[in-house]
Chain A
């Protein structure tokens, strides 16, 4: 790469995206752009930083593909996640990728909601004759929802505990951190296994008692009503991961707060009578949010991996729910003859987790103002050179 940057195609694209967003904001709240001009410029520089990091771009692409698949997957899947194609065509039993099967015009086909005709099983099928491609698409949805639900709650418990422990120090710190240590001392996966094994009956009762909640989760996971009982296992995994996912964050945030609270402006805020909750919220949290954000992004992949791991071990998703870990577990008994049952879901897990890791790593650079400044200077230098010519 040359010493001095110039605006690449990607930069122009990101500029256009940001400007479009800003125009929209300006319409909703007139005068917004004028007030936040500096902020918008900073956004653009962040985008340039991302554009200059190939791993980041790859990560972003992988993550976007994953999210798009998870959102539209259930709608574009050729079959439902539980359609046993062996009912129509004997070839569908453990069919290798590329097998063509025929669905005849029978009542069974009507009952299962499958249109008659010829289908190519892109990624093959499993021992029930379920289309692996469809199941992987549904599995993306499962993974995304579990990951989002875990990340919406788990880390924040830790962040809250870390904030309080770090800020108050002394005995409160000691009590909270020893409590955290207890959870850290337990291997997270084992604890999660224990919880996901114990919780399902209670979750089932709870879901039966609250049809609205049940319906909400069913539509989130894109599952059929008759599988609500199996879904309880997924919900238990979410809760189990809440319980084991926070200690790392408590440690991280406590450390960050310990250094952030020594800033004189925190002392000054205290001396001027700013209430503690506002000091934590306004003056400490925003100043430590960068590392937390990086950690959250990296952990997104971690949650997906752990959930797949739990399902692989047999405590997470139960049949017939489509879940990458579960598909691998079910397919492992036919390995290596029916390699596709293990290979494709495994590849999906690999690519998704890799994507989140790459983007998390890049985020660290993007959030660092120094990176942005160096890019800004290099861009300006180029401009000046161009003008001289």
Chain B
């Protein structure tokens, strides 16, 4: 099985900087990972660690003052064929890929729908702009089917509704419908359930799972919710301050976390089986990425920090074929 895995996206050595008045924010500092066809790949990490920036860089959605400094995003359009580097494509070529082959689901469904247009119009618009349909009117008929597929109650009425007439969960269903309307290969879900309450969260994740199965999607899920990771993902990458500190198969990661940050993160998640009085937290705060700590970016908060950690960047160490970690403890 392992040898048959086909990569769909290969990110190599990505660097993204933001040029702000306060200084240069080194938001992404040498991130590399591969997403295979048909899997759900997770990026986890706390707020501000660069998850969303990584996701947006994949199709060059970073706007000034942000800039992709270097790196490659190899996109395997068809399995086994030569990949294309998305970062080298022109804006127009990228536009044709965005939404058609690589699609996004954003965090806040209330904000990602334009308040001035009906749900049907907004679903049609994406299809229209990619030449799938020849008129917006035609899109409304298709939009009903799409809303049905995302389990929207009463799709015939909802298609003519404006965003403010829908509940949060319904809005997120509509957003998912929009992003899947062109049958993309890869869906990047950027914290799709953060703005929703727990029950709706569960429904939406079930829906994503179902759609993934039906349409044979590859999903890049960005989240800070460890429960969601365990529920949804095949492989997980843990990010800290713009770097991937550990990447592993989901079972491996939960069973055998290696990086001190991952360990601490897992300890900070409530466990329904083990009863504890107090959740552990990680001491210190996320570093300022304008002046990131030298060496390993986690060392100021790490209880195992050595002299070496303060000066040299830890290499990527493959402790097993499905598990890599960036930490001096394992060299």
Stretch at the interface among A1-9, A271-279, A319-327: A271-279
> With an 8 A cutoff between CB atoms, is A209 at the interface?
no
Residues of A within 8 A of B100 (CB): 273
The answer to whether B179 and A272 touch across the interface, beta carbons within 8 angstroms, is yes
> With an 8 A cutoff between CB atoms, is A283 at the interface?
yes
Q: A272-B179, A274-B126 are in contact. Are A265 and B99 (CB under 8 A)?
A: no
Interchain CA distance A271-B188 in the complex, whole Å: 10
Q: A272-B98, A272-B99, A272-B178 are in contact. Are A264 and B108 (CB under 8 A)?
A: yes
Q: Chain B nearest CB: distance from A30 CB in Å?
A: 16
The answer to whether B99 and A274 touch across the interface, beta carbons within 8 angstroms, is yes
| Contact among B98, B103, B125, B175 with A270 in the assembled complex (CB-CB below 8 Å) | B98
Q: Chain A nearest CB: distance from B190 CB in Å?
A: 9
The answer to whether B126 and A267 touch across the interface, beta carbons within 8 angstroms, is no
Q: A263-B111, A268-B104, A278-B129 are in contact. Are A273 and B116 (CB under 8 A)?
A: no
| Contact among A264, A271, A282 with B125 in the assembled complex (CB-CB below 8 Å) | A282
Closest to A173 in B: B64
> With an 8 A cutoff between CB atoms, is A116 at the interface?
no
Residues of B within 8 A of A269 (CB): 114, 125
> With an 8 A cutoff between CB atoms, is B63 at the interface?
yes
Residues of B in contact (CB 8 Å), total 30
Q: Chain A nearest CB: distance from B58 CB in Å?
A: 10
Q: Chain A nearest CB: distance from B134 CB in Å?
A: 16
Residues of A within 8 A of B178 (CB): 268, 272
The answer to whether B129 and A264 touch across the interface, beta carbons within 8 angstroms, is no
The answer to whether B95 and A275 touch across the interface, beta carbons within 8 angstroms, is yes
Residues of A within 8 A of B64 (CB): 169-170
Q: Mark A266-304, 1 if CB is under 8 A from B, else 0.
A: 011111111100100011001100000000000000000
B:29-66 near A, CB below 8 Å: 56, 59, 61, 63-64
Residues of A within 8 A of B63 (CB): 169
Interchain CA distance A274-B125 in the complex, whole Å: 8
The answer to whether A271 and B98 touch across the interface, beta carbons within 8 angstroms, is yes
Residues of B within 8 A of A274 (CB): 95, 99, 125-126, 129
> With an 8 A cutoff between CB atoms, is B130 at the interface?
yes
B:104-132 near A, CB below 8 Å: 104, 106-108, 111-117, 125-126, 129-130
Residues of A within 8 A of B99 (CB): 271-274
Residues of B within 8 A of A263 (CB): 111, 114
Residues of B within 8 A of A270 (CB): 61, 98
> With an 8 A cutoff between CB atoms, is B97 at the interface?
yes
Interchain CA distance A339-B91 in the complex, whole Å: 66
The answer to whether B98 and A265 touch across the interface, beta carbons within 8 angstroms, is no
The answer to whether A267 and B106 touch across the interface, beta carbons within 8 angstroms, is yes
Interchain CA distance A268-B64 in the complex, whole Å: 17
Q: Mark B79-112, 1 if CB is under 8 A from A, else 0.
A: 0000000000000000111111001101110011
Q: Which of A170, A270, A275, A287 has the largest number of chain B CB atoms within 10 A?
A: A270
The answer to whether A271 and B61 touch across the interface, beta carbons within 8 angstroms, is yes
Closest to A287 in B: B116
Interchain CA distance A272-B63 in the complex, whole Å: 15
Interchain CA distance A82-B130 in the complex, whole Å: 62
Q: Mark A92-136, 1 if CB is under 8 A from B, else 0.
A: 000000000000000000000000000000000000000000000
Interchain CA distance A110-B98 in the complex, whole Å: 75
Interchain CA distance A225-B106 in the complex, whole Å: 64
Closest to B63 in A: A169
Residues of B within 8 A of A170 (CB): 64
Q: Chain A nearest CB: distance from B310 CB in Å?
A: 37
Interchain CA distance A274-B108 in the complex, whole Å: 19
Closest to A274 in B: B129
Q: Mark A239-281, 1 if CB is under 8 A from B, else 0.
A: 0000000000000000000000001110111111111001000
Residues of A within 8 A of B113 (CB): 265, 268
Q: Which of A169, A268, A282, A286 has the largest number of chain B CB atoms within 10 A?
A: A268
Interchain CA distance A270-B125 in the complex, whole Å: 12
Closest to B162 in A: A38
Closest to A265 in B: B114
Q: A265-B112, A265-B114 are in contact. Are A271 and B97 (CB under 8 A)?
A: no
Q: Chain A nearest CB: distance from B161 CB in Å?
A: 11
Q: Which 10 A-B pairs have the closest CB atoms?
A: A273-B99, A272-B99, A264-B111, A273-B98, A271-B104, A268-B112, A170-B64, A265-B114, A264-B112, A273-B95
* B binding-site residues for A, Cβ under 8 Å: 56, 59, 61, 63-64, 95-100, 103-104, 106-108, 111-117, 125-126, 129-130, 175, 178-179
Pairs A–B under 8 Å by Cβ, sample size 19? A169-B64, A170-B64, A264-B106, A265-B114, A267-B112, A270-B61, A271-B56, A271-B61, A271-B98, A271-B99, A272-B103, A272-B104, A272-B178, A274-B95, A274-B99, A275-B95, A278-B125, A282-B114, A286-B116
